[in-house]
Structure 1
Amino acid sequence: MTDDYLILNKANWDERAPVHAASRDYAVPRFLAEPDFLSEVVRFDLPLLGDISGLRGAHLQCHIGTDTLSLARLGATMTGLDFSPASLAQARLLAEKTGAAIDFVEADVYDAVPALGGARFDLVFTGIGALCWLPSIARWARTVAALLRPGGRLFLREGHPILWAMDENFTDRPTLGYPYFEQTEPLVFTDGSTYVDNDAEFTQITTHEWNHGLGEVVTALLEAGLTITGLVEHDSVPWEALPGLMTRDEHGEWRLTEHPERMPLSYTLQASKH
């Protein structure tokens, strides 16, 4: 596979990074004003995340660093990695303004081991909306395993693959429209919008994406030598993934308005290295 997907996807994220940093959704002013403020994504998983103080953590595909900063505020020594220089510029600015000692490294996630060093981390964290940009979940799992020291753990919260398989253009009912299982060829989207509320007009609008079934994710981690220690499926997700079909709760999570019990929308997976 060529690296065309990296060029297209990086251009897309580079253009959107300053818009995301200025949006209400990422709540940068609250991070600046409130020393204990945490991102909604990290807050959601606090009961499962537990005490991470003193841990050395790597946040893969960290984007503008709000989740990375949140983990640092919980006491971890964090390093953020992303392939988008524009995203990292926003992340570094946020860390500087909040006085957080976070290293941000520019690299593709598959190059994380040479970029960050192997077997160094107690915690590898990956948040919502990251895995769909990767063509091979098995290669990702091997990367995670190589980053972790013995006894270290992976903490992943991600959109559920059944959600990624839904066609959001159907606003009257949930409708399957895309593959559930990982495919060799990418899904090619041309979309001038982004997932935060804004009035920007974008020019870098073509992306290549892949879905990865839940069994594929679990199997890839097991084959990489990790032990699955937790898997929880949730009926909510932190953005309006299916417009017209969802209702937002007081914590910023979105659920199906009708019969939310019928479909998982995200999951939290934990795995450890022995």
Structure 2
Amino acid sequence: MQEYLDTNRANWDDRASMHAARNGTGYLVQRYIDDPDLLSDVVRFDLPRLGDIQGLRTAHLQCHIGTDTLSLARLGARVTGLDFSSVAVAEARALVAETGDDVVFVESDVYSADEVLVGGSFDLVYTGIGALCWLPSVTRWAGVVAKLLAPGGRLHIREGHPLLFTLDERLDDDLHPRFPYFEQAEPLVWDQDSSYVETDRPLTATKTYEWNHGIGEVVTALLDAGLVLTTLVEHDSVPWEALPGQMVERSGGEWALGARAGVAPLTYTIQAVKPLV
């Protein structure tokens, strides 16, 4: 398991340095410096379900370079971002130093989050899209979320739909399920030199290990951790071109199926609350 973690960390170290570029590639981070009111497309999509988060003590797990994290802060939350990549954390700190947003960033594997953050102290645990596929056990993740939340606190996660992750993106003539829907002990192994956004060079740390987690597995893990499910919504769009050649771009950085519109969910949102007693 340590090999999987180390390999994925090297990949995300490499991505972080490119995603944080100030040259108009990657996450286009210069926009957040130039416009102090700008919110990321990901957080803007989440707003109708997030609601008012003014003053909420918030932990953003797997925060990467911090564009969603600072967006939560701009909505009034008191945010701590956590990521296992030292490069991502350094880039996130450098970004908020330029933007002036009040965010704390901590370097840690998500499974150790309750050891480096104060357990039971967060009103909101936020996990952005594209996070769970890097974790071998969704049950362990749910346990960490439950430990971090204060009584009455809630989890908010929007994630790529496990059905989407079964599809082979290399085949563009139709939807081709090829990969496991359910969590497997052994990960899928990928080796590719491109990222999901435009970058100014290829990746050098190209190998990754990923796991899928079925909707039922995610929901059950949260229930078993003692949380109460309050929201489960499936969406017909995803914030990257997940299936090249088969998607149409919408406003707000979202992509939906073209010819196969409505055939499959592409993302989902879950919210769950930790009971008061």
Alpha-carbon distance, 1:252 to partner: 1.2
Please provide the CA RMSD for this pair.
0.9
Question: How big is the shift at 1:203?
Answer: 2.0
Partner residue in 2 for 1:162? 163
The CA deviation string for residues 165-188 of structure 1, in whole angstroms up to 9 with x for no partner, is 111000111111110000001111
- TM-score (normalizing by structure 2): 0.97
Distance 1:167 1:259 in 2: 15
Deviations 1:235-273 (A, max 9, x none): 000000000000101221000011321110001110000
> 1:5 maps to which residue?
4
Aligned to 1:142: 143
What residue number does 1:131 align with?
A: 132
Question: Match of 1:234?
Answer: 235
Q: Which runs of 5+ in 2 are unaligned?
A: none
Contact 2:167 2:176 in 1 (8 A): yes
Query: Distance between the aligned counterparts of 1:79 and 1:49, measured in 2?
Result: 17
Amino acid at match of 2:219: V
Give the structure 1 partner of residue 58 of structure 2: 57
TM-score by length of 1: 0.98
Paired position in structure 2 for 1:122: 123
AA in 2 matched with 1:51:
D
CA contact (8 A) 1:168 1:241 kept: yes
Q: Does 1:245 align with 2:260?
A: no
What residue number does 2:270 align with? Answer: 269
Instruction: Quote the offset at 1:105 in angstroms.
Output: 0.4
**SS of 1:161 mapped into structure 2:** coil
**Structure 2 residue matching 1:181: 3-state secondary structure:** coil
Q: Residue by residue, what CA displacement relative to the aligned partner does 1:32-75 show, whole Å, maximum 9, x if unpaired?
A: 11111000000011111100001000000000000000000000
Which structure 2 residues correspond to residues 169-184 of structure 1 after superposition, within 5 A? 169-184=170-185
Question: SS of the counterpart of 2:238?
Answer: coil
Deviation at 1:156, TM superposition (A): 0.2
Distance 1:36 1:235 in 2: 28
What SS does the aligned partner of 2:183 have?
coil
Alignment length (residue pairs):
273
Matching residue of 2:19: 20
Report the Cα distance in structure 1 between the residues aligned to 2:72 and 2:199, rounded to whole angstroms: 27
| Distance change in 2, residues 1:25/1:264 (3 Å) | farther
The one-letter amino acid of 1:169's match is R
Partner letter of residue 11 of structure 1? Answer: A
Q: Give the match's secondary structure for 2:130.
A: coil
What are structure 1's unaligned runs of at least 5 residues?
none
Q: Amino acid of the residue matched to residue 19 of structure 1?
A: M
Over the matched positions of the two proteins, sequence identity in percent amounts to 61
Question: For each residue in 1:104-132, what CA deviation from the matched residue of structure 2 results, as whole angstroms up to 9, or x when unmatched?
Answer: 00000000001112101000000110000
CA contact (8 A) 1:26 1:39 kept: no
- Once the two structures are superposed, the pairs formed by residues 26-105 of structure 1 within 5 Å of their partners are 26-105=27-106
Instruction: For residues 151-210 of structure 1, give each alpha carbon's deviation from its aligned partner in whole angstroms, at most 9, with x where no partner exists.
Output: 000000000000011110001111111100000011111111111112412221111110
Contact 2:25 2:199 in 1 (8 A): no
User: Counterparts of 1:64 and 1:168 in 2: how far apart (Å)?
Assistant: 26
* 1:93 aligned counterpart, secondary structure: helix
**Whole-angstrom CA distance in 1 between matches of 2:50 and 2:274:** 16
